Amino acid sequence: MLIAPFIVLASFAYVGLLFAIARYGDKRADAGRSIIANPYIYALSLAVYCTSWTFYGSVGRAATTGMGFLPIYLGPTLMAALWWFVMYKVIRISKANRLTSIADFVASRYGKSQLLGGLVTVIAIVGVVPYIALQLKAISVSFSIMLRYPDVVMPDKQGAPLFIGDNTFYIAMLLAAFTILFGTRHLDATERHEGLVAAIAFESLVKLVAFIAVGVYVTYFMYDGFADIFARAERIPQLAVLLYEGGDSGRYSTWASLLFLSMLSIMFLPRQFQVSVVENVDERHLGKAVWLFPLYLLVINVFVMPIALGGLMHFPQGIVDADTYVLTLPMSVQQPWLILLVFIGGLSAATGMVIVETIALSTMACNDLVMPLLLRQRWLRLTEWRDLSGLLLGIRRGAIVVIFVLGYLYFSLAGEAYALVSIGLISFSAVAQFAPAIIGGIYWKGGTRLGAICGLAAGFLVWLYTLLLPSFAKSGWLPITFLSEGYLGTDLLLPEQLFGLRDFDNITHCLFWSMAANIGCYVGLSLARKPTGAEHSQATLFVDVLKSSTLAASPPFWRGRATVQDLLALLGRFLGPERAREAYTQYARSRGLPAFERLEADAALVQHTESLLAGAIGSASARVMMSSTVDEEPLALDEVLHIIDEASQALAYSRQLEQKSAQLQAATDELRRANQRLQELDRMKDDFISMVTHELRTPLTSIRAFSEILSTHADLDAEQRHKFLNVIIKESDRLTRLINQVLDLAKLDSGRAEWRAEAVDLREVIEDAATTLAQVYRDRGVTLELELPATHAPVVADRDRLMQVMLNLLSNAAKYCDRPDGRVHVALRIMPDRLQIDVRDNGIGISAADQELLFEKFRQVGDTVGRRRSGSGLGLAICRQIVDHFGGQLWVDSKPGAGSTFSFTLPRGSGQAARASASDSAVAAVRALHG
Amino acid sequence: MRGNSVKGQCLVALFLLGCLLLDYPVLDLFASPTNVAGIPLLFVYVFSVWALLIALMTFVVERGRD
């Protein structure tokens, strides 16, 4: 049954099943009903960590080092406990900044540096190529072995031709084709591949089931349980050693360094970053993963030792490669279905790894290596291309093929000399170089771009020299003298005993020196120079991501000009116009706007666009594209530091306080002014009261005095009596007048005055007033002239009030015109919309300062000190009230020594404009005086 | 999942415990040729500690105080 065509068919069927699951997953994702939004699926997808290394290689390692295969799985278990803090932060940062790969993460953290992104990509590709070779080897070997069923024969180690005619090459190309189909059908701004995750979770289950099946079979069907196997193994001395020592005897360091390496690898292997961070749907899934993933590791490793011992005991020494026991044991007992299951399990383990890893690597290669280089070629004018999505997909597919070819080459050139696990550890040591830059990046704001670049470069070079090149030398591709003599032939630079450090296995040795160089350069160079503005802002975004949400939400650090259409067009060139519009519509809706046309091209939109772009082409390239489209003003370092310095928060608060205190100050000032006015009005009220009482008292005093005289002196002659009585009468009149005026003003003020509206001819009013005061004028010797038009001058007003105004003006004019040739001229002019009356006198005039006081209540303007005019100072105030009531205006025009002109206007014929005069509250106090 | 939650701190404590128990020199204490129910001590010890750690982590995550 297990003939080649059947095996091939079964393999294709299995991969086809995976593909179907992936398509189903993608369809459900598009419909919004994701099947992977589930913590169990998330935890299972993390198990892509277990590859052919786990499936085949662990048994091989256990057969030589006993429990020494285990630290690779204990490390991730311990690291999972730290995920609660570390991974959570990494996921949060990546979501907030829309980072889609490790290279993106590092580049973004250190000021969106394209150089750093490219460096990380190169290290990742070079470092992971051996790991991919490992998978190819596993598939190829297992396939070759299966072909020889039922004989158990190891495949030929030598002699396979390169490329054409080499089965492994075809396997590699097939895998490349599958990977392209799985992961590069379209560009997703978030780089999420829901279908892929579903397929990977399924694969994790398959390999777990397959391995447990073999384990159970070997332990309980080929032997009689754990105790039986161990008891039998104990009896064989070489095997007994394996049981009781943990790892290479005496080499404690190996165990510890493997523990440490695997802790870093579970975080920084590109495929692990992809499934745990980029593909993460909900950060709360991390909780389940913290214990589910270690549980998976435990279960899949329980049977490793029994299988290893079983194989060692079953097969004669040295014939069968221990790496193949998982397959060859069922083969040796002729269990075809189990064999097929195991083969599919191994295929699962290998394909899962290569697909996810190469997709992650191709994303990095496209976004962080190729695109930045292409963007630099100005002659290509990439920034002007209409649609770049085709180019991007093409680059990714090309990258996938190239990576597989490299993997194949490594396998051909160096893979044969090594056990599977040893190859894998070389890759672990490579990705460990990312640890200082990333861990430092999320916890230490002082990490700079220069430090990261030098640290990475130094660590990578040490790794190259102490692990990768020796692996070529051990396979014969480099001269073996490289190992024995080293570079420049000095003892100090022996690749596996650098600077004389002996007694360590090559992994520990490399780990020590590469970490020393990496961390040393990273810390040293970061401290040597201050971070730039961009670095500092990115550092804060990363390190403080869990602090105030305002920092993450506020769109910062951008000044420039762009329109919404520009941004949309830019986005469309990378995502395709449809998806770009979708993305913008979603964004607009999240902002509460009905359509994306209503969006404003503000900093928030620009940042959102940049992050969407970063999803497609990496953050460094996105930065370049944005700045080429948008006119940007570069930020000055001190500006950025000023903005985001921690003190700026305090500054914001203090500014708020300043504002509040300024408002308080303004309110206080207003209150003070109001208070002053109140005091002034109070004084004026007091003055008025004293004046009024004085005015009232004066006539009263006269009246009383003269009455008393009349009463006590009965012997006054008739003339004197007559004179006194006249005085009394006059004073009484004056008193009455005064009281009437005050009452009048109060009534006018309070609006309780009665107004009569009647048609009045203004000419008549003026003439009547003139007649009334004619005697006064004659007495004073002032001539009165009237200049009245011939036509009718009608107004609708209260006749008496108008008379009051005229009388007041005329009597004032007479009073202040006290000179021999005094003349008062009254003119009535009819204008289109109003009537204007001017009362001009050639008296002493009124100074400018006094003019302002004239119309105020309680004010009197005297020309000389001490010379009291009769009157209360209320006359003009009353006049103004009256004129205001009629909708007119009353004013004075005068210069000292040049006479005065009092003028008032009345609207023509129209009704009264009932104007409510705004009275000060202080006047209410005065009104109270009148009751 | 807050930055300073008790759960996170318990997990860090478990991490340190694991580092202690699953590494040399503690590991060396159990690398002696004795058996537990026919199974070598080292094997039993490592897998038991591993299982215990996982159980504790499960407890902290699923039922611990937040």
Which range in A511-520, A711-720, A772-781, A849-858 is most confidently predicted, on average pLDDT?
Answer: A511-520
Q: How far is B17 from chain A (nearest CA, A)?
A: 9
N-term to C-term CA, chain A: 123
Whole-structure pTM value: 0.65
Alpha-carbon distance of A512 to A510, in angstroms, equals 5
Tell me the per-residue pLDDT of A203-239, one tens digit each, with 9 for 90 and over: 999 999 999 999 999 999 888 888 888 888 888 877 7
Interchain proximity A81–B15, CB inside 8 Å: yes
Show which residues on chain B lie within 8 Å of chain A, measured between beta carbons.
Answer: 1-3, 5, 7-8, 11-12, 14-15, 18-19, 22-25, 27-28, 31-33, 35, 37-43, 46-47, 50-51, 53-54, 57-58, 61-62
The residue among A371, A208, A173, A175 whose CA lies nearest residue A292 is: A208
Mutant choice from B7, B15, B27, B63 vs A, greatest count of A C-beta within 10 A: B15
Tell me the per-residue pLDDT of A154-207, one tens digit each, with 9 for 90 and over: 777 665 677 777 788 888 999 999 899 888 877 776 667 888 899 999 999 999
Q: Check whether the bond before A150 is cis (ω within 30° of 0).
A: yes
**Structural domain count of chain B:** 1
CATH architecture of A754-915: 2-Layer Sandwich (3.30)
Top CATH class of A647-743 equals mainly alpha
Q: What 3-state class would DSSP assign to A85?
A: coil
Task: Work out the mean pLDDT of chain A and round it to a whole number.
Answer: 82
Find residue A828's DSSP bridge partners: A837
Q: What 3-state class would DSSP assign to A875?
A: helix
This complex has an ipTM of 0.94
Strands A783-787 and A823-830: parallel
Does any CB of chain B come closer than 8 Å to the CB of residue A291? yes
Secondary structure in 3-state letters for A253-279: HHHHHHHHHHHHHHHHCHHHHHHHHHC
Tell me the per-residue pLDDT of A317-333, one tens digit each, with 9 for 90 and over: 778 888 899 999 998 88
Task: Please tell me the CATH code under which domain A4-414 is placed.
Answer: 1.20.1730.10
Provide the domain limits for residue B53: 6-63
Which residue from A88, A291, A302 is facing B54, i.e. has the nearest CB?
A291
Q: How confident is the model at residue A251 (pLDDT cuts 50, 70, 90)?
A: low
CB A264, CB A432: distance < 8 Å: yes
Strands A900-907 and B35-36: unpaired
Q: How far is A81 from chain B (nearest CA, A)?
A: 5
A-chain residue closest to B41, CA distance: A244
Tell me the per-residue pLDDT of A60-117, one tens digit each, with 9 for 90 and over: 988 888 888 899 999 999 999 999 999 999 999 998 888 889 999 999 999 888 899 9
pLDDT of residue A862: 56
Do the domain assignments include residue B21?
yes
Do the domain assignments include residue B52?
yes
Which residue from A84, A259, A290 is facing B23, i.e. has the nearest CB?
A259
Q: How far is A238 from chain B (nearest CA, A)?
A: 14
Other beta carbons less than 10 A from residue A380's beta carbon: 11
Do the domain assignments include residue B18?
yes
Q: Which DSSP symbol is given to A787?
A: E
Please enumerate in sequence order all residues whose Cβ is within 8 A of that of A392, keeping only pairs 6 or more positions apart, or say none: A187, A366, A371, A574, A616, A617
Strands A834-841 and A823-830: antiparallel
A423 or A83, which is more confident: A83
Average of pLDDT values for B3-19? 86
Interchain proximity A252–B53, CB inside 8 Å: no
Tell me the per-residue pLDDT of A339-349, one tens digit each, with 9 for 90 and over: 999 999 999 99
At A761, the amino acid letter reads D
Cα–Cα distance list, A892 to A763, A848, A851, A888 (Å): 21, 10, 7, 14
Interchain proximity A77–B24, CB inside 8 Å: no
Do the domain assignments include residue B1?
no
Alpha-carbon distance of A116 to A433, in angstroms, equals 13
C-beta contacts of B17-22 below 8 A and 24+ residues apart? B17/B53, B18/A74, B18/A77, B18/A78, B18/A81, B18/B49, B18/B53, B19/A78, B19/A259, B21/B49, B21/B53, B22/A74, B22/A78, B22/A259, B22/B46, B22/B49, B22/B50
Q: How far is A82 from chain B (nearest CA, A)?
A: 6
Q: Check whether the bond before A832 is cis (ω within 30° of 0).
A: no
Domain spans in chain A, listed from the N-terminal domain onward? 4-414, 433-553, 555-633, 647-743, 754-915
Rg (CA), chain B: 15
Please enumerate in sequence order all residues whose Cβ is within 8 A of that of A692, keeping only pairs 6 or more positions apart, or say none: A738, A742, A872
Tell me the per-residue pLDDT of A548-563, one tens digit each, with 9 for 90 and over: 553 344 344 444 556 7
